[in-house]
Amino acid sequence: MWIVLSVVTGALFLYSAFTKLFPVQSFEYTLADQAHLSHRLASITARFFAGLEAGLGALIVMHFFGKGKWILKTAFALVAIFSVYLVWLWITAGNNVNCGCFGDAIWMSPSASLIKNAALLLVIGLLIRFHEGFSYRWVNLSAATFVVCAIASIYIFFPVFKRYHIDFAEMYADKELAPAIDLAKGKHIVAFLSPSCTHCRKAGLKIHNMRLRNATLPFYIVIGGTKSDLTDFWKESQAEDVPHTRLDEKPFMKYTHGLFPSILWVNNSEVEADTGYPELSETVIEKWGKTPNP
């Protein structure tokens, strides 16, 4: 029985880490909005907790608890800390919000998550009391190394994005091509698409479909080159209804570095993220749009 409980508990930690990372931007915006963290601090914190959960979860699944069962005790403390946060969230934001415990995969209110955490604390407490797990000479050192590596790997595979300024006035030196809206003010998701690129056409189609479901999504398409025929591009992407403009090849290549589709999340001329089209999510975009600036 204890082996099954250990595997299930560890798997729950791993699943929680997975849902926080895919996409990690969603967890970032949850922390920025609900915990009132700056964008950079939210990015750092999101990766730390996801890495810690992943490391603890994997070790619990494998029954490597370390000397004095410190892995289980750390997991217990982590759930307790999350529970305190949930109580604070319930008081300050009410019970009709997604706490973000499982990212956007499972919508969970603070009260429901507190019930889940209470059961989880009980199970972890029982494991601390009754389940010995595996032990060997270097289990303490190897467990600690594993957790540190798990956290570090998250920052490697999901690096914290370094914000930078984008100068739309410089980009559109040719005023005849300048966008009809001011991309330097407010929040915009600017998609740099090449008309001859297959993935750009798929990106355009996804953006078109998302705009059909929610016309308020702040998409803007920048199409590279001013001479190519866009007939086939519009036919495949169906994105002609999305606000767009063209851009000379030279500045287009400069701002995309020759990699496209390039989708920039721009907040008052500051690029906060650069993603591919598979990561685009209506929920994440809506959450980003509602997140107040620091």
The pLDDT value given to residue 228: 87
The stretches in the chain having pLDDT less than 70 are 294
Residue pLDDT, tens place only, 186-200: 999 999 999 999 999
The pLDDT value given to residue 148: 97
Residue ranges per structural domain of the chain: 2-157, 164-290
Residue pLDDT, tens place only, 31-41: 888 888 887 89
The pLDDT value given to residue 258: 86
The pLDDT value given to residue 294: 64
Decide if 174 contacts 248 (C-beta within 8 A).
yes
Decide if 31 contacts 47 (C-beta within 8 A).
no
Residues 151 and 57: their CA atoms lie apart, in Å, by: 12
Whether domain 164-290 has CATH 3.40.30.10: the reply is: yes
Cα–Cα–Cα angle for 217, 222, 225, nearest 5°? 160
The pLDDT value given to residue 53: 98
